[in-house]
Amino acid sequence: MSDKILIRGLEVGAIIGIHDWEKQKKQPLFFDFKLYFDCQKAAQSDDIKDALDYFEVCEKVTEFVANSHFELIEALAESVCQLVFNNFKCHKIKLTVLKPEAIADAESVGISITRKSK
C-alpha cells in the first residue's frame, strides 16, 4: 500500500545539542513526515475516525519535542517515529528533521530516516 499523509515544515522549538549554548535555549527544528497507511476505509466513509489524523500527529509531536531534551538529532528522530507508531495507525514513516541554527554557514543540517512498525 502506498497511501501516505504528508506533513511538511512542522516547526517546533526544542532544547537539542551537545554544546552548552544549545542547552540554554530552544532552537527551531523543522519536521517533514511521510506517514504510510491504508486510507481506503477513510476515503469510503469520509469519517475522521477511519483516517490518520494529521492534526493530532502534529499536536503530539509538538508537545513531545517541546518538552524533550536530546543531545543528538538522531535520537530525537528515532523517538518521534516511535511516538507516532505508538499512537497512530501507520506502518511506515519517512521523517526528515532539519536544524537550521546548528552551523552558522549552512542553511540547515539534519537527518532523514525511514522506519517500519514492528
Q: Is 94 a catalytic residue?
A: no
Amino acid making up residue 59: E
Beta bridge partners of 16: 70
CA–CA–CA angle 74, 79, 80 (5° rounding): 100
Give the active site residue among 23, 94, 99, 118.
99
Query: The sheet that has 109-116: what strands, in order across it?
Result: 69-70, 4-16, 27-36, 92-99, 109-116
Q: Which residues are catalytic?
A: 99
